[in-house]
Amino acid sequence: MGTTARGTATPHWTPDDIPDQGGRTALITGASGGIGLETARVLARHGARVVLAGRDRTALERAARAIREAAHGARADTLLLDLADLSSVRDAATRIAETETVDLLFNNAGVMNLPERRTTRDGFEMTFGTNHLGHFAFDAQVWPALLRSTAPRVVTVSAVAARWPAGKLDDLMSEKSYRAMGAYAKSKRANIVYTLELARRTAHSRLEAVVVHPGSAMTGLQQHGTGTLSRIVTPLAARLLMGSADGAAWPSLYAATSAHVGSGQFIGPAGRDQATGTPKPARLPKGADDAGEGGRLWTASERLTGVHFDPAVPTVDRP
């Protein structure tokens, strides 16, 4: 079934190739639907206990119930988490960090294409604040739970939009100019730059940090499109270009469970235009692996969130 060299994609990989995940706990943000829910469903089917994190308690409970009903003995719990509210991030992370062991952490949740500039409860531009800063603060404060694992892995979900010129990491809060997809591209580049910096800072530890892009799929992120053009193009793209949420979860599942994946890799679909298909290493956006950019983003993220993040030790808020 494929090659054995670490860091080399296995041809024709499918979720059926996932090894037994019994005894492992996976925490997935944005897990009440779309890619997050499919990731949780598959891991639960392979024996993992899954913790579904999200901001809608009713949707989370419905998703957890569906997972438990679909597979005998499946274990699914919920965690209320609003990444656009640092107090919610702190409360959720503390609940996990105090007693839990997390083996797989998926930074999966995201927002996209908000038609007007909006801000989080803490005053951050909503897209960047949710997609990057919320996850940065959550990872930092949930870190003790990962340190308890014998083989922890962090998987962050980016997007092909990270390659767009609009994704340049300046004007992080889009205060000078706001364009919906520009803010999204910026947040998705930040996901990659952050993960590669995390991999550098944990290079001598047992933790592995991997970033993925899911290709193209209709998952709910597209709901904010406006105007006649969006109403025409989005359904057409869904039929002609985009895959399903289950296929879009393959890169995340592969990155989390395959022995062929190493820390600091970028994984995406191998199909035409990297839209769908079996997972494999993907081309990084130009300059995303620059250590200087990684350090600057890390420093800015600590300053903005007020959360110090040293991956080598348990982390607390700054005074």
CATH code of residue 211 = 3.40.50.720
Which DSSP state fits 22?
T
The reply to whether 151 falls in a domain is yes
The reply to whether 298 falls in a domain is yes
The reply to whether 8 falls in a domain is no
| Residue 177 to residue 175: CA distance in whole angstroms | 6
The reply to whether 21 falls in a domain is yes
What tens-digit pLDDT sequence spans the chain (319 residues)?
333 345 554 568 999 999 999 999 999 999 999 999 999 999 999 999 999 999 999 999 999 999 999 999 999 999 999 999 999 999 999 999 999 999 999 999 999 999 999 999 999 999 999 999 999 999 999 999 999 999 999 999 999 999 999 999 999 999 999 999 999 999 999 999 999 999 999 999 999 999 999 986 544 443 444 444 344 434 433 333 334 556 899 999 999 999 999 999 999 998 766 677 899 999 999 999 999 999 999 999 999 999 999 998 655 554 4
The reply to whether 207 falls in a domain is yes
The reply to whether 312 falls in a domain is no
| Residue 13 to residue 96: CA distance in whole angstroms | 32
Say which of 178, 184, 194, 254 is annotated catalytic.
Answer: 184
The reported pLDDT for the residue numbered 274 is 62
Global pTM reads: 0.89
The reply to whether 161 falls in a domain is yes
The reported pLDDT for the residue numbered 222 is 38
The reported pLDDT for the residue numbered 247 is 87
The reply to whether 91 falls in a domain is yes
Which residues, 6 or more positions from 145, have their beta carbon under 8 angstroms from its beta carbon? 27, 96, 97, 100, 101, 102
Whether residue 184 lies in the annotated active site: yes
Structural domain including 175 reads 15-305
Is 203 strand, coil or helix? coil
The reported pLDDT for the residue numbered 314 is 58
The reported pLDDT for the residue numbered 2 is 36
| Residue 267 to residue 209: CA distance in whole angstroms | 11
Structurally, the chain folds into a number of domains equal to 1
